[in-house]
Structure formats: structure tokens, C-alpha cells
Amino acid sequence: MGIVQRDGFKLTVVSYIGLILGYVNKVLLFPNFLSTEEVGLANIMINIAVIYAQFSALGLNGIMLRFFPFFRDKEKEHHGFLFWANIIMLIGFVFTSITFIIFKPWVVSNYSESAKLLVEYYYYIIPLGLATVCFHTYDAYLRSHMKTVVPSLINEVALRVLITLSISLYAFKLVNFHQFVIIYVSVNCSIAVMVTAYTFYLRQLFLRPIFSPRIRRFSKHMFGYGLYTILASTGNIFSANVDTLMIAALMGTQLVNGVMVGSMYFVGIYTTVFFFTTVMLIPYRSILKVTSPLVALYWKDRNMLDMGKLYKQVTAVCIVVGTLIFIVIWAGFDDIFHFMPPQFATGKMVFLYLSLGRLFDMITGLNGVITYTSKRYKIDMLLTVFMVLMTMGLNYVFIHEMNMGINGAAIATLISLMVNNILKLWLVRYFFGIQPFQLSNLWVLLIGGGCFVINSFIPFLMNVYVDLAVRSMLLGVIFMGPILFLKISPDMNDFIIKFLKPFGIRIKLLE
């Protein structure tokens, strides 16, 4: 697990730098200088662009991770692999764009009253979609080369610095809102240019058409795999964003504190609170970026022993880190939202439900990566389609029928994540004979539950700054102390030892 820990450490550092910048943008700047509806527009445009990109990619990300090891040969320009990937990407983008334009009248008829801003800036999503699919295609290509840090630096840090500058222009009234949206879209498109430039810098930008026999030999398998993975990957992205889309579609205009607001108002609150749940996923996503190519190699070599070990190690690290982050944010939730307009604090229960769902997603480790890179990927696709339908149904029931609003959307997401991951856990255990859990995982959850209860008994301390700092640090120590010094999670101890070594810190007590 050496490469996972080394690159996972670098990616986590990059991601948390991006987190700080994201906090500045999402918490301090966007809510305080944009209206809640405008915040909703900025966030939902990115969500739709991600779905747009998945349809455009035609399963490319999965194809690259699964099949690139069979094509890797720099002297032969990887047998034209990147050239054909770009052709597929552009074909997918053209067809997706045509469909997107055709659906414009339907969007106008359904969203013109409750989400006027989304209708007004509808076509701005097309360049966002192109940039997003381009970035993710090249990111997957670079991940296959084990080059994960710089693309993350571009996406997590460079992009957020540019967004900070963009919103600052609006805050200082140097541009109006329309000009801000143009700049915001342009900034989000710039990451595609940067990742392409980095690929060129690595001398891996091979765009010459090559009609390699290897391409012809694998094409049938790749297209078959891609056909299924496009449904699986698109389904995963869609199910992750369907709650936001259905809030925009179903909540309509409502009276809030004596003022009529549209559905974008609720989207603004929901997506801002959702940002805090992504904090939990940062280490998990960093590790997944590194482990996905390794899992593909294990399948190529039929190395189930090392895959089983990796499965357990990733779960052991993620369950500790995810629980720790959840406890710290939950403890300081009220203090954090003190710096935002009061309406955003109404999303506290949204954070609780979404966080529990994300935590369960982390706990189940690599099940998704293992299934969609295996020969059982068709079953994985069917599970993903089932999850999309279930998520849409649950959102409709909780948001519309039960009138639970954004809390209902969060509950629907929690249930969907739990059901989906339980089914995938069973799938991996049944077909491949491996599972990710150890007895130590249970102790971690029990300690985390104890910290959750302890937090409710800690009184407010002086002011928000002191309360946030003391409460978060105290619960962090109460949680991590037993885990480290009682060696409840040896994998986590080993991870932390190697994590701290670059800083010259040695913890001999844990060795």
C-alpha cells in the first residue's frame, strides 16, 4: 500500500488546501455577496455540467482505467489510445449537446417560474459540459499513468483560486452579475486547458491517428464494456445530483419569512450544506484515485490476495478519517454557519442525513471500483440503474408527497446510498470471496457514537471562535486518542506514521 499512502498523502494535502479555498468561496463569499437564488444557480450549473459530461464521455473513464494497462507503450504512443479516446469524447459531446438543445422547451415550460435564472443561463452549461468531459477524460488518462497529484492541484486549488478572484470582482462591484456568470463559466472551463497542457508537458499528449492491431483486437471488448459503464458511471453521477435537480423541479415557489422565493432558493441552501459533506469524502476520493489503477492491475494479474488486503486497508483508513471529520464538523456546525446568512442554518439536518450516507459510502471502501472493473460489471450497471430509479422515487415521495423539502431530499440520498452499498458488498463477497470489515471497525464506530453524544453535553464556550476551536479539538482528541494509543486500527496507525514522516515527526509509541 506504499504508493497509495504516498500519493494519497499528497492528494489529501492538495484537497485540504482546496477545501480551505472552497470554504472561503462557499461559506464566506458566495452566500454573503450573492442572493440565495444566485448561489443556487452557480452550484446547479456545475451539477448539470457533471451529468452532461458523463453522457458525453460514453464510458471513457471506465474504459481507460480498465484497458489502458493493455495499451501502455510510450514508444508506440500507446497504440493511439488517447487519439481514439478524444474522438469518442467529441462524438458523445455532439450527441449530448443536440439532446440538450432539443430539451430546452421542456425546461422552459417546467422551470420558467420557479427557476428563472436557470432558464436564462441554460446555454452556458454547454461549454461547461465540454470542459468538464475534457478534464475528466484527461484526468482518467493521467491516473492510468499514476499521475494524480497535478490534475487534483488544478481542480482543487487552481480552479478555486480563480473562482475566488471571480466572486471578488463581483463583491467589489467591478462587474455585474451577468458578467460574473460569464467569468465564472470561463474559469471553470480553464481547467480543461490546464490539464491538457500538463499532459503535453509530460510528453504523453499523443493525438496522432494510429490504426493499431491492438485497438482492433480490443475494440469489441472496450465498446461492450463502455456501453455498460456509460450507464453505470452516468447513473452514479445522476444519482449523486438528482436530489438537487428534483429540489429545483418540485419545490416551486414558496412563502419564506413573508417573502415568495423560487426553488433556486432551496437549491442554494441545499448545495451549500452539501459542500460540507464533501469534506468527508476528500481522503476517500484521494485514495480512490490512486487505488483504481491498482485494482485494474490486480484484475489483470488475477491477484485476489492483494486486492483483498487493499480492500480492508482502505476501509480501515476511511472509516477513521470519515468518522473524525463528521464529528468535528457536526460539533462546530452552528459556529460555522454563524458566518453565513441565517437561512443557511436551516440545512443542519440536511447535513446530518447526507453525512451519514457519505460515511456509509466510505466505510464500504472499494466495492464500487472492484465491481465495475471486474467481469461482473454488467451486474454493477444494473445495480446503478436500480439506484437511480430508487433515488428518483424516494426524492419524489419525500420532497413532494410528504412535503419534507430539502430534508426529504437528504433522507432519500441516505437511504439510496445505504441500499446501494449493501448490495455491492454482497456482490463482492458472493462472487469474489472478499469483504472489507474487521472487528476494529466496530470499535471505531462506537467511539465515534460516544463523541456524538458527548458533544450535546458541552456548553457554549465564550464566543463562536473559542467554541469552534475548543469543541472541535476536544472531540478530535477524545476520538483519536483511543484509536491511536490503544492500536484499535493498526492500518490507520501505520497510515498516520507514514503520513507524518515527511514533516519529520516520528511517533515511536505507535510502532
CB–CB of 239/393 below 8 Å? Answer: no
* Sign of the CA dihedral with 101 first, then 103, 107, and 109 last: positive
CB–CB of 51/136 below 8 Å? Answer: no
- pLDDT, one tens digit for every residue, the chain (511 residues): 445 555 556 666 787 788 788 888 887 889 889 988 898 888 889 988 988 888 887 777 777 776 766 666 666 666 667 787 888 889 989 999 999 999 888 877 767 666 788 888 999 999 999 999 999 888 888 887 777 788 888 988 999 999 999 999 999 999 999 999 999 999 999 999 999 999 888 888 877 777 767 666 666 666 666 666 666 666 677 777 888 888 888 887 787 777 778 788 898 899 888 888 887 777 777 777 777 778 877 887 888 888 888 888 888 888 888 899 899 889 888 888 888 888 888 889 999 999 999 899 888 868 888 887 777 877 877 887 888 889 899 999 999 888 888 999 999 999 998 998 899 899 899 988 898 888 888 899 999 999 999 998 988 887 888 898 899 899 988 998 888 877 777 767 776 666 556 555 555 544 4
CB–CB of 231/381 below 8 Å? Answer: yes
Total number of residues shown for the chain = 511
| DSSP code of residue 261 | E
Closest CA to 261 of 399, 116, 104: 116
Residue 256 bridge partners (DSSP):
259
Phi, psi of 437 (to 5 degrees): -95, 150
In b/e form, how buried is each residue of 96-107, taking b as 16+ CB within 10 angstroms? bbeebeeeeeee
Q: Please, what's the largest Cα pairwise distance for the chain? A: 71
**Which pLDDT score is estimated for 511?**
46
- CA angle 92/131/281 to nearest 5° reads 100
